[in-house]
């Protein structure tokens, strides 16, 4: 059975690129746009995912309503 990868990214072009590269390498890929869809995909999966690929911060999750402040919200 080929490895299953869940791609979570809010940028449609980035998501499509990652999906294409991984699919071309022989992986089974499911792509979603946000965290809620990712949770639903994981919960509804008949076969578990082997890996989740996501960006650290989804734009919709910003407390500024999707506008970047240019600073990091993660403690370093």
At residue 62, the pLDDT reads 47
Q: pLDDT digit string (tens) for 22-75?
A: 999 999 999 999 888 999 999 999 999 999 998 866 555 545 454 444 444 444
At residue 44, the pLDDT reads 95
- Global pTM? 0.73
At residue 47, the pLDDT reads 94
- Which of 8-15's residues contact partners 24+ apart within 8 Å by CB, and which partners? 8/32, 8/33, 8/34, 8/35, 8/37, 8/38, 8/52, 8/53, 8/54, 8/55, 8/58, 9/33, 9/53, 9/54, 9/55, 10/34, 10/55, 10/58, 10/59, 10/60, 11/55, 14/55
Residue 8 pLDDT exceeds 90: yes
At residue 1, the pLDDT reads 82
């Amino acid at each position: 059975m080929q490895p299953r990868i869940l791609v979570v990214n809010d940028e449609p072009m980035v998501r499509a690129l990652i999906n294409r590269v991984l699919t071309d390498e022989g992986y089974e890929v499911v792509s979603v746009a946000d965290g809620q869809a990712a949770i639903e995909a994981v919960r509804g999966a008949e076969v578990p995912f082997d890996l989740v690929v996501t960006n650290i911060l989804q734009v919709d999750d910003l407390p500024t309503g999707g506008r970047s402040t240019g600073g990091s919200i993660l403690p370093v």
